[in-house]
Amino acid sequence: MNKIEHIGIAVKNIAESNALFAKLLGKPYYKSERVESEGVNTSFFMVGNNKVELLEATTANSPIAKFIEKKGEGIHHIAFDVDDIVAEMARLKNEGFTLLNERPKKGADNKLVCFLHPKGTKGVLIELCQEIK
């Protein structure tokens, strides 16, 4: 793994949260995107060399809606940048981690992504990200 790619934060209202984080960070979000396959609207803020991703559910049964219902708004996941997501998935599976998807899938911000089950990572949802070239 190369670096922390972003920290994902689940929010109920992305417009309100964009305004709040713009005040907090002193700059507006630089990108927003809807990811139909995950049922989310996203926005991204740059913080130095790192990103903060806000995630708002677009459907009542999306993973973000379920997360907020169970735990409330807050940190949802930590994403790590990898060079070869398929190789990293195989390595982690071999190490005993449970992958939430068997193949990488298209995520936000031009990335291939895979999530690790939080039961195997001390309750932290981990996302692997590889830039689509």
pLDDT of residue 122: 95
pLDDT of residue 37: 86
Q: 95 or 37, which is more confident?
A: 95
Q: Is the pLDDT of residue 99 over 90?
A: yes
Burial zone of 43 (CB within 10 Å; 0-12 exposed, 13-18 middle, 19+ buried): buried
DSSP state of 111: E
| pLDDT average, residue stretch 118-133 | 95
Q: Place 42 in a pLDDT band, splitting at 50, 70 and 90.
A: very high
Tokens of residue 119, six digits: 């039961």
